[in-house]
Amino acid sequence: MTQTHAQASSAPVSASVPMLQLKVKVLRFDPEKDKKAHWSTYDVEAQPGDRVLDVINHIKWYLEPSLTFRRSCMHGICGSDAMLINGRNRLACKTLVRDVAKNGGTITVEPIRGLKVEKDLLVDMDPFFDSYKAIMPYFINESPAPAAERIQSEEHAERMAHSSNCILCACCTTSCPIFWVNGSYLGPAAIVQAHRFIFDSRDEATHQRLAIMNQNTGVWRCRTAYNCTEACPRDIPITQLIEEVKRAVMYAQS
């Protein structure tokens, strides 16, 4: 299906910016009427600095209103719009058109893999959040709290800089070949969350978390494929964090 083109920009148009003519191929699936997924192609015009999300929004608003996907913040902090763009997991709001297509080129958009597709680009996130909940993703310190803050050194605070940066977008977990093959694997995002608390000098439940990581759904399933690290839209060195958790589990056992 090819639709007439129109312009996708959310930003005001400046006459001097060259517009790109693009084809956008979207993998569509509506379980109410489709037996299997199929491609729809839309012709659009976009500025090089537009986000891929601007282009997809444009298709929804003016060309194909039934197209379904999640989105919210538009700048890479809410984690709603993880999708496969030109074969790679990315946030559509953090991916600029100029970085994935040239004039006359094609952008392909598909749902992230390993989670059930509910409609078009929208997948069932519940298994992902179930894995998150399985690692006790909350601070535990049952000692009486002081009147003011618990003192923590700058160095110890910095230990959480990478892991606390996670926005739970699922780009990492749904890029992991182990997760595709074995859905019971907790996956990189949940391990990053475990890291967040294991290495918090104020938390008192390290032992329990390491035990969860040591289970057969835990950290040992990781085969160090690095897909997670490449997929992370916030540049978290996920593979490194997973290795740190592996080492912590090993030391706890010895």
- CB closer to another protein, 136 vs 252: 136
Smallest gap from Cβ 134 to another protein, in A, equals 10
3-class state of residue 190 by DSSP:
helix
> According to CB under 8 A, which one of 2, 18, 147, 251 is a site residue for another protein?
147
Residue 5: C-alpha distances to residues 22, 59, 83 (Å): 9, 9, 23
Q: Which residue is listed with tokens 């110890």?
A: 156
Counting contacts by CB under 8 A, is residue 118 touching another protein? Answer: yes
* DSSP, residue by residue, 75-136: SSSS---EEEETTEEEEGGG-BHHHH--TT-EEEEEPPSSS-EEETTEE--HHHHHHHHHT-
List the one residue from 19, 122, 225, 252 that touches another protein (CB under 8 A).
122
The 8-class DSSP code of residue 59 comes to I
30 touches another protein by CB under 8 A:
yes
Angle in degrees, CA 183, 186, 190, rounded to 5: 140
- Interface with another protein, residue 164, by CB under 8 A: yes
Among 2, 12, 216, 223, binds another protein (CB under 8 A): 12
- Is 7 a binder of another protein (CB under 8 A)? no
In angstroms, give the least distance from the CB of 95 to another protein. Answer: 9
Question: From residue 60, how far is each of 53, 54, 65 by CA, in Å?
Answer: 10, 10, 5
Binding site for another protein (CB under 8 A): 10-12, 14, 16, 30-33, 49, 51, 60-62, 65-66, 68-69, 71-80, 94, 96, 118-119, 122, 125, 129, 133, 137-139, 141, 145, 147-154, 157, 160-161, 164-165, 167-168, 197, 200, 202-203, 234-235
